[in-house]
Structure 1
Amino acid sequence: MAAKEQQGENTPSLLDRLIDNEPRNRDVRQEPAKSLRQLKAGLRRDLEWLLNARRPPVDLPEGAGELERSVFYYGLPDVSSLSLNSVTDQRLLVRVIETAVAAFEPRLTGVRVSLQPVNRNTQTMRFQIEGMFRIDPAPERVTFDTTLELISGEYEVEGERSAG
């Protein structure tokens, strides 16, 4: 593992390592630029899955804080009861997203979510999810444009754009 880190290679997510899109191809070496694109695409996909997963609507028992970072608590709480026209509820949603990404996406550090005004015509809410993508040889700041479809409650995370 230390040898890989010194060479500047990045390990794909567990899911990406389990998926084999080219089972007949025995070559495991990837081009660095292609590999970086694939790592970012995997991060985008995993963020979208995280935001679209719903955790159970239960309060955790006292002293069971480890459950907050477990598969049991993966995802976001149901926000359908929030009034997303309310500034207070909008801020709560931003905090919930930041907390979930920080807890369940270890490849991103310094996560910050910013909200754009609600578009009443399209019934969508737009966010930007920013953070430092922990990759070798140097971390890279990334920003993902994210849309919440208010009617369906579905999030769409769009491709990364460089933030800096």
Structure 2
Amino acid sequence: MFDRLVELESFPLLDEEELRASVRREVAHALNTRCTLSLEQAGSLEPHERSALDYGLPDLRPLGPAATDTRLLERLIARAVEAYEPRLRQLHVSVRLPPEDEGAPIAVITARLAQGPIAEPISLPLRLDRNGRLVEVDGER
């Protein structure tokens, strides 16, 4: 066991491109996984109150195109990402609804990507389907 711990220390940190790709993958996994929480539970739990059993987003089908649902979707995405991707700091999510029948909602996560003492800005565009479900994170399926 000690040998394995020593070996882990010899691994280099991810370079910036690898780190960004890793974060995109983890965000995509978290947002494409459905948990058993209700919309209300997921919206009210603080990120530190969630466990591995709560991983992901709740079923988003009850959400509609109303502005209040858009704000709830922003909060749900932000809380899921904050809970399960600790490398992102100062996270903000914005969701924009296109005019009716002109496409799916568009969301963007902006944050600071932290690796050690360095925190670089990162922007993760999210492609959503018409029901607000994640389809793609900046090229990562």
TM-score by length of 1: 0.66
User: What is the CA deviation profile of residues 77-105 of structure 1, one whole-angstrom value per residue up to 9, with x for unaligned ones?
Assistant: 1110111x200111111011111111111
Q: Does 1:82 align with 2:43?
A: no
Contact 2:32–2:57 (Cα < 8 Å) also in 1: yes
Aligned partner of 2:125 among 133, 138, 145: 145
* Alpha-carbon distance, 1:151 to partner: 5.1
Q: Does 1:73 align with 2:67?
A: no
Whose Rg is larger? 1
State the distance in 2 between where 1:152 and 1:113 align: 13
Which residue of structure 1 aligns with residue 9 of structure 2? none
Which residue of structure 2 aligns with residue 100 of structure 1? 80
What SS does structure 1 have at the residue aligned with 2:61? coil
State the distance in 2 between where 1:79 and 1:135 align: 32
Structure scoring higher RCO (CA < 8 A, sep ≥ 6) equals 2
Contact 2:96–2:106 (Cα < 8 Å) also in 1: yes
| Over 6 Å off, 4+ runs | none
Return 5+ residue gaps in structure 1 as ranges: 2-8, 13-34, 160-164
Contact 1:53–1:74 (Cα < 8 Å) also in 2: yes
State the distance in 2 between where 1:149 and 1:46 align: 19
What SS does structure 2 have at the residue aligned with 1:113? strand
Which residue of structure 1 aligns with residue 97 of structure 2? 117
The 5-angstrom pairing of residues 23-38 of structure 1 reads 35-38=15-18
What SS does structure 2 have at the residue aligned with 1:130? strand
State the distance in 2 between where 1:53 and 1:71 align: 12
The number of equivalent residue pairs is 127
What SS does structure 1 have at the residue aligned with 2:107? strand
